[in-house]
Chain A
Amino acid sequence: MMTWRWAIRDLLRHPTRSALSLLGVAVAAALLLDMVMLSGGIERSFGELLRSRGYQLRISPLGTLPFDTEATLGDVTALTVALRRDPAVREVAPVLGSTMQGAHGAIAASLVTYGVTPTSQGIYTLESGRDLTATDTVGILLSVPAATRLGAAVGDTVSLRGRLDPQMANAGAERRVLVRGIVRFLYDAREQPSVAVALAAAQRLGGPDLTDRASVLMVRIDEASDLTAVTARLRAAHADVAVNSIDDLVAQFRLRLTYFRQLSLILGSISLVVTVLLVGTLLAITVNERSGEIATLRAIGVARMNIARQVLVQGLLLSVLGGAAGMVLGLGTARWLDAILTSFPGLPAAISFFVAEPAPLAIAAATLLLTGVLAGLPSAWRAASTPIAAALRSDAP
């Protein structure tokens, strides 16, 4: 039988009805696509972001995750030395995060300040100007939002005031620093004004409370080492701190995103139900309208199986065309929704909520097509069971 050609022409027989049904399937497919991308996308994107600079482990105060609280690690110098004693550890990069006030001329702004070891850091990439050097204690690096807020550029001098007292609205230590470069902080939220200075400078500006302290230590280990074994070894050797691999952090993140996954599962399921209803309804109407044709086909010797296949192909065709349109629609809406969601405060701007990955998308597409076929089963069965003589008698084409 000329099944596909026939199915296409049959859809074109009622163009408005078919177009509306296809639009409905496309919207449902777009929703399914977005939910599939959302369900695992942010988790994968977070993992990729953490891995982007090659530090496989994060060490933070016991019971916390990096930058999850204001708690800091003590005796960082000794801890760093101790960590480096492990034969698999190649690099240890301490980062101290705090809030300071920056001023440039008459402009002042609250800034997220990172104290880093410039030669081994994994939290920013240089955009313009130059990086800090190992001995540079008077240099500062600004993010674009920080530079914009302060109205500062490379070569300008700005004041940095630490030990902010929110109640007294005044600062403790103050230091004049020279803007060396503009950088992009990997974990910053969108429009977050951040700066980086040498760790020692940040500790001094923070006062005695931050002496020899850091928020997190980023640890790079030898690529050839067994990450699980190294993690276990470091945990055993440093039981007073939290040693987390990227997989551990992603797992924690996953726990916090349970809501997203549940939401995406529910909405994805709804989209499949909508597809079933749309395709099923259209095919039921079509089979009703075509009962005379179907009886004719049966009369001239077309097998029940081929009649059923004809109906199922039409359902499949609706799913394929609707799914293709839904793919375009879904990618467009994902980009739009991503822009909204990543602008939420506190979330790294580099994270994507919607990540298109081949395997989940292929599964979603296959599920959609299968749904289209399954939606056609009742109508296919009814078409194949058409009573020939009665349908021919009652049909007036």
Chain B
Amino acid sequence: MTIVLDARDLERRHALEGSEVTALRGVSLQVEEGEYVAIVGPSGSGKSTLLTLLGGLDLPSSGSVAILGASLSALPDRALTRLRLERIGFVFQRFHLLPVLTARENVELPMAEMGVAPDARRARAAELLAYVGLADRSGHRPTQLSGGEMQRVAIARALANRPAILLADEPTGELDAATGREILALFRRLHADGTTLVVVTHDERVTSEASRVVRMLDGRIVD
């Protein structure tokens, strides 16, 4: 099996009010292609910090992260940005859709950045919105969508460039129980279709669906 993500001995220290806080202490994690990994733990355990390092949104104080063999720390900013664009899909707790763009335009955004031709990206956006069950909402702006719909648009956006791995940070955190179940069902479907998933969550339902559960406490993986 291909190792999609390989994190070794990650440490992340922050300066906070004159003192140093260690958010991660020697975390290592490998994720194989097609895996569905759930990272769980209490607040402050370091799981969101770990996700930002895995996705190259922040750099570790020490240790390394590699996506499909490419070490993120060794990449210049431009290459790291390109790698995020091409290889990583992000889903955030607060959706982070762009309010001035429609659902379709939000999904098109990563493809536009990749230089995909307008016709091709429109077709791909329509396909993805249909996949997440929002074919009829493509012209709506985020303010016209429910929380669950916004998260589905965010998932469609994350899949736009066919990433090697999809990283989700509390994807059901802002949703009610029923809507959260819909999103989890969508993740289940994504996993079944071969998408590699790493989901940081408080939601115990995710742990029952993931192929592997990683538990964190005080900046360490404990299980």
Residues of A within 8 A of B (CB): 1-2, 6, 9-10, 12-13, 292-293, 295-304, 306, 388-389, 392-393, 395-397
CB distance from A225 to the nearest CB of B (A): 64
Contact with A along B91-128 (1 / 0, CB 8 A): 01011111111000100111011100000000000000
B81 touches A392 (CB 8 A): no
Q: What are 19 A-B residue pairs whose CB atoms fall within 8 Å in the complex? A: A2-B101, A6-B101, A9-B100, A10-B100, A293-B98, A297-B109, A298-B57, A299-B55, A299-B96, A300-B110, A301-B82, A301-B83, A301-B84, A302-B85, A304-B77, A388-B52, A388-B58, A389-B58, A392-B52
Q: Given the known A-B contacts A301-B82, A301-B84, A302-B81, are A296 and B110 also in contact in the complex, defined by CB atoms under 8 Å?
A: no
Residues of A within 8 A of B81 (CB): 298, 301-304
Report the number of A-B residue pairs with Cβ-Cβ less than 8 Å.
Answer: 84
* Residue of B with least CB distance to A1: B112
A299 touches B98 (CB 8 A): no
A296 touches B92 (CB 8 A): yes
A296 touches which one: B83, B88, B98 (CB < 8 A)?
B98
CB distance from B141 to the nearest CB of A (A): 9
A397 touches B96 (CB 8 A): yes
Residues of A within 8 A of B88 (CB): 301
A13 touches B100 (CB 8 A): yes
Most buried by B among A297, A393, A395, A397: A397
Residues of A within 8 A of B86 (CB): 301
Residues of B within 8 A of A (CB): 48, 52, 55, 57-58, 77-78, 81-86, 88, 90, 92, 94-101, 105, 108-110, 112-114, 157-158, 161
CB distance from B185 to the nearest CB of A (A): 24
Q: How far is the CA of A146 from the CA of B180 in the complex (A)?
A: 91
B100 touches A300 (CB 8 A): no
Q: How far is the CA of A392 from the CA of B49 in the complex (A)?
A: 12
Q: How far is the CA of A302 from the CA of B55 in the complex (A)?
A: 14
CB distance from A292 to the nearest CB of B (A): 7
* Residue of A with least CB distance to B82: A301
* Residue of B with least CB distance to A7: B100
* Residue of B with least CB distance to A384: B77
Q: How far is the CA of A293 from the CA of B96 in the complex (A)?
A: 7
Q: How far is the CA of A295 from the CA of B105 in the complex (A)?
A: 18
B96 touches A395 (CB 8 A): yes
A303 touches B113 (CB 8 A): yes
Q: How far is the CA of A1 from the CA of B85 in the complex (A)?
A: 13
B110 touches A397 (CB 8 A): no
CB distance from A135 to the nearest CB of B (A): 82
B52 touches A301 (CB 8 A): no
Q: How far is the CA of A304 from the CA of B84 in the complex (A)?
A: 13
CB distance from B57 to the nearest CB of A (A): 4
A303 touches B57 (CB 8 A): no
Q: How far is the CA of A297 from the CA of B109 in the complex (A)?
A: 9
* Residue of B with least CB distance to A294: B98
Q: Given the known A-B contacts A1-B112, A301-B82, A302-B113, are A397 and B100 also in contact in the complex, defined by CB atoms under 8 Å?
A: no
Q: A300-B90, A302-B85 are in contact. List 14 more A-B contacts (CB 8 A).
A: A2-B105, A6-B101, A12-B100, A293-B98, A297-B98, A299-B57, A300-B84, A301-B113, A303-B113, A306-B113, A392-B57, A392-B96, A395-B94, A397-B95
Q: How far is the CA of A46 from the CA of B149 in the complex (A)?
A: 69
* Residue of B with least CB distance to A296: B96
Q: How far is the CA of A396 from the CA of B92 in the complex (A)?
A: 11
Q: How far is the CA of A113 from the CA of B101 in the complex (A)?
A: 73
A299 touches B100 (CB 8 A): no
CB distance from A290 to the nearest CB of B (A): 9
Q: How far is the CA of A318 from the CA of B42 in the complex (A)?
A: 47
CB distance from B201 to the nearest CB of A (A): 17
Residues of A within 8 A of B48 (CB): 393
Q: How far is the CA of A295 from the CA of B110 in the complex (A)?
A: 14
Q: How far is the CA of A341 from the CA of B86 in the complex (A)?
A: 64
B90 touches A397 (CB 8 A): no
Most buried by B among A12, A293, A395: A293
* Residue of A with least CB distance to B52: A389
Residues of B within 8 A of A392 (CB): 52, 57, 92, 96
Residues of B within 8 A of A393 (CB): 48
B78 touches A303 (CB 8 A): yes
Residues of B within 8 A of A298 (CB): 57, 81
Residues of A within 8 A of B100 (CB): 6, 9-10, 12-13
Residues of A within 8 A of B161 (CB): 301
CB distance from B49 to the nearest CB of A (A): 8
Q: Given the known A-B contacts A304-B77, A304-B81, are A299 and B90 also in contact in the complex, defined by CB atoms under 8 Å?
A: yes
Q: How far is the CA of A304 from the CA of B97 in the complex (A)?
A: 19
Residues of B within 8 A of A1 (CB): 109, 112-113
Q: How far is the CA of A293 from the CA of B100 in the complex (A)?
A: 10
A-B pairs, top 4 by smallest CB distance, nearest first, are A301-B85, A9-B100, A296-B96, A389-B58
Residues of A within 8 A of B99 (CB): 13, 293, 397
Residues of A within 8 A of B98 (CB): 6, 293, 296-297
CB distance from B13 to the nearest CB of A (A): 14
CB distance from A387 to the nearest CB of B (A): 8
Q: How far is the CA of A396 from the CA of B105 in the complex (A)?
A: 21
Residues of B within 8 A of A396 (CB): 94
CB distance from B88 to the nearest CB of A (A): 8
CB distance from A318 to the nearest CB of B (A): 16
A2 touches B96 (CB 8 A): no
Q: How far is the CA of A10 from the CA of B105 in the complex (A)?
A: 14
Q: How far is the CA of A299 from the CA of B83 in the complex (A)?
A: 10
B77 touches A292 (CB 8 A): no
Residues of B within 8 A of A10 (CB): 100
Residues of B within 8 A of A389 (CB): 52, 57-58
